[in-house]
Chain A
Amino acid sequence: MDTSVAIVTTSRGMGGLLALNLASAGCRVVTLGETPLRGGFDHVASDFRSRAEADRALAAAVSVLGRLDALVHAASLPDQPLLVSTEKMSEAEWVEASEAPVLRALFALQAAYPHLSSSGGRIVLVQPTIGVSGMPGGTAISSAVEGQRILGKVAARQWGASGISVNFLLVSLELAMPGVEDMSLIKKLAEIGTGYVPPAQRPVGGSDVTRDVSPLVEFLASPAGGRMTGQTLVADGGIWMLP
C-alpha cells in the first residue's frame, strides 16, 4: 500500500502496534506524540497542546513523508483515574480527562487538514466504545470519546468537498486504554454494568490489535476506503451493536 501515514500516538496504547502493522503493509509511517515508540519509526515529538504546536508537528511529519495521505489519530486517553465518581472529581481533573483529549484531537485534525486537502486524504480516529455505551465511573472519558466522534462527523461534513474522508473506529476498552490491563479493575468494571464486557462474554471473544484492528485502520486510511465518510465502525468483539 503506497500510502504516507501520520499516526498520532501515546507512549501507551495501540498506536505503536498500528504503526508497525501499517509499515509492514507497505505504508510510509511517521509517528507523532510525546514519546518515541519502539520500532524505529521516524518520530516527531509533540504534545499537541496548541494549534501552533500541532501545525509545527504535522509540517515536520510531512517533510519526512514527502506528502500526507492519511492521519490516524490513535492517541490513548490520558492516564486519568478510572472509576471515579463525579462527586469526587475536581474541575481540573474533569478538564484534563474530558476536554484536553478533544482539544488535542481538534488541533491534530486542523493541522493535518491543509496537507490532506492538497491531494484528498483520509482521517481515522480510534477510540474505545465507552463513548457510546457509557461506563460507570467514566463520565469524563466517555465525554472525551464522544466529543471526538462528533468532531470527526463535523470534519467529515465540512471537508468532504476537499476530498477528505473522516471515519471513526471504536475498539474494546482494554485495547484503547492500557490502564485497564489491571485485572482487578477489569473484574470490578464487569461487575458494575455492561459498560465493560469481559472478552470471554463477547460474541466473538477478545480482540487483537494486529489481527482485528490494524486491517480496518489500513482499509480506512487507504483509497480503498472509497467515499465512505462520517461513519463509525465498531470492532469490539460484538459488545456494542448499532441500534
Chain B
Amino acid sequence: MSDVHATAELAGRTVIVTGSGGGVGKGMALALGKAGANVVIAARRAETGDPVAAEIRTRGGQAICITTNVALKESVDAMIAKAVTEYGGIDTLVHNALSARATDPTPIANVSAELFEDVVSVASRATFLCVRAALPYLKQGRGRIVLLLAHGGVRGHGSLSIYGVAKGMQRGNLKALTWELGARGITVNAIVPVALSEGMERNFATRPGEYERQAKRSALGFIGEPERDVGGAAVFFASDASRYITGQTLFVDGGTYML
C-alpha cells in the first residue's frame, strides 16, 4: 500500500463508516485513518470491526469500533451518541453497510416482501436513520455525507434484482438530500465502487480465470483495491477539496461504466 493518502488532511475530523468490518468499508476506513481522521468503525460484529480499529491505531491513527445494526433506530442512535461522546462531533458519515442478502440472485419476478425488507432496511432505510441521527451533529459548512452505491442502482441489474432497486432508492434520497442540506453547507455524494472484497478473493481462488474475466470489464483491466482506490474517493469527499461538489455519483470502477 502506497502512502497516497498519508497527508493528514483530515486531522481532527471524525468520520463514521458503516459496514466497515471488511471489504470496501474496511478499505475506506483504513484510508480515512491514514489521512488523519478519527474513524468510527460502525460494524455489525465486533469480531470484524475491532481488528479494523486496531489496525488504524497500530498505524498511528485514531479509531474506535461501535457495534451497530444500521437497520435499527435504537442501535443507530446509540452509535451516533457514542461517536459524539468520544470525538465531540461528526464531520462525515459514510454509509456503506449492506445486508448479507444484498447479492441474493432471486429473479425480480420472485422477490418476496421479506427479501425486500431485508435488503432495503439496511441500504435505504438505514440511510434515512443514519442521516437523521447524525444531522444534529454534522458541522455547519463542512458536514459530509457519502453513500456507497452500485452499478445496479443506476443501470439496473440482470440478476441482483432487489439490490439495484434499494441502491436506486438511496440515489433518489441522495438527490433530495442535496437540496435539503445544501444551505447548511453539507454535501451529499455517492461512490459506485468496483473493488476486491474478501468474498471476491475467495471466489477467485476457486475459479481459475474468473479474476481476469471480471477485470476485463473495466477499461483499466484490473479490479480496484478497497483502501487505495475507493479509499482515495472517500478521503476526497471527506476533505475540503470536495467542498463545492454535491449531489454527484462518482464511479470508482476503472472505467466500467460511463454516463
Interface residues of A (CB under 8 A from B): 50-51, 85-87, 89, 91, 94-95, 98-99, 102-103, 106, 109-110, 113, 130-147, 149-159, 192-193, 195, 230, 243
CB distance from A229 to the nearest CB of B (A): 10
A94 close to B128 (CB less than 8 A):
yes
Tell whether B57 is near chain A: CB-to-CB under 8 Å: no
Residues of B within 8 A of A138 (CB): 176
In the complex with contacts A98-B169, A146-B169, A158-B158, A86-B108 CB distance below 8 A: no
Chain B residues within 8 Å of A132, by CB: 172, 175
Q: A134-B247, A147-B165, A243-B259 are in contact. Are A153 and B173 (CB under 8 A)?
A: no
Bound together, the chains give a CA A135 to CA B41 distance in angstroms of 31
If A86-B128, A91-B129, A159-B109 touch, whether A154 touches B161 (CB-CB below 8 Å) is yes
Is the C-beta of B177 less than 8 angstroms from some C-beta in chain A? Answer: yes
Is the CB–CB distance between B128 and A89 below 8 Å?
yes
Residue pair A153, B109 in contact (C-beta under 8 Å): no
The yes or no answer to B209 lying at the interface (CB within 8 A) is no
A86-B131, A230-B156 known; A137-B180 Cβ under 8 A: yes
Residue on B nearest A242 in the bound complex, by CB: B259
B179 adjacent to A95 (CB under 8 Å): no
Q: Give A88's nearest chain B residue, CB to CB.
A: B132
**Separation of A146 and B103 alpha carbons in the complex (Å):** 20
Q: Does B101 contact A (CB under 8 A)?
A: no
Question: Is there an interface contact between A142 and B107, defined as CB atoms closer than 8 Å?
Answer: no
Contact present for B108 and A110 (CB under 8 Å): yes
Q: Report how far A33 CA is from B165 CA in the complex, Å.
A: 23
Contact present for A85 and B180 (CB under 8 Å): yes
Q: Is there a chain A Cβ closer than 8 Å to B155's Cβ?
A: yes
- The residues of B that contact A102 with a CB separation of less than 8 Å are 116, 120, 165, 169
Residue from the set B112, B128, B135 with the largest chain A CB neighbour count within 10 Å: B128
B177 touches A139 (CB 8 A): yes
Output the least CB separation between B177 and chain A (Å): 6
Q: Which residues of A contact B156 (CB under 8 A)?
A: 150, 152-154, 156-157, 230
**Range, interface on chain B:** 35 or more
6 example contacts (A-B, Cβ-Cβ < 8 A) are as follows: A110-B110, A132-B175, A139-B176, A143-B170, A147-B165, A150-B156
Q: Are A110 and B128 in contact (CB under 8 A)?
A: no
Tell whether, in the assembled complex, residue A134 and residue B170 are in contact, meaning their CB atoms are under 8 Å apart: no
| Closest chain B residue, CB of each to CB of A146 | B172
Closest Cβ neighbor of A85 among chain B residues: B180
Contact B169 A143 (CB under 8 A): yes
User: 0/1 per residue, B120-161, Cβ < 8 Å to A?
Assistant: 100011001101100110000000000000001111111101
- Is the Cβ of A134 less than 8 Å from the Cβ of B108? no
A-B pairs with CB below 8 Å: how many?
150
Instruction: Choose one: A98, A146, A158, A243; the contact of B171 (CB below 8 Å).
Output: A146
Q: Kindly identify which residue among A51, A94, A95, A134 contacts B113, using a CB–CB cutoff of 8 Å.
A: A51
B157 and chain A: residue at smallest CB distance: A154
Contacts of B180 in A (CB 8 A): 85-86, 136-137, 139
List residues of chain B with CB within 8 A of the CB of A155: 108
Q: Indicate if the CB atoms of B113 and A142 lie closer than 8 Å.
A: no
Complex Cα spacing A193 to B247, Å: 13
Known: A143-B124, A144-B169, A147-B172. 6 other contacts (CB 8 A): A134-B177, A135-B179, A140-B173, A142-B173, A143-B169, A150-B169
- Within 8 Å CB of A150, what residues of B? 152-154, 156, 164-165, 167-169
Asked if B124 contacts A134 (CB within 8 A), the reply is: no
Map CB proximity to A onto B172-204 as digits: 1 under 8 Å, 0 otherwise.
Answer: 111111111010000000000000000000000
List the A side residues contacting B153 at CB < 8 Å: 150
Complex alpha-carbon distance, A230 and B158, angstroms? 12
A142 to B164, CA, bound (A): 16
A192 to B176, CA, bound (A): 12
**Shortest distance between the CB of A117 and any CB in chain B (Å):** 9
Are B165 and A113 within 8 A (Cβ)?
A: no
B124, B152, B259: the one within 8 Å of A98 (CB) = B124
B45 at the interface (CB under 8 A from A): no
By a CB distance below 8 angstroms, the chain B residues around A110 are 108-111
A139 and B109 within 8 A (CB): no
Query: Within 8 Å CB of B24, what residues of A?
Result: none
* Nearest CB in chain A to that of B158: its residue: A157
Give min CB distance, A99 to chain B, whole Å: 6
Indicate the member of A102, A131, A136, A150 with the most B CB atoms within 10 Å.
Answer: A150
CA distance A146 to B154 in the complex (A): 9
Residue of B nearest to A132 (CB): B175
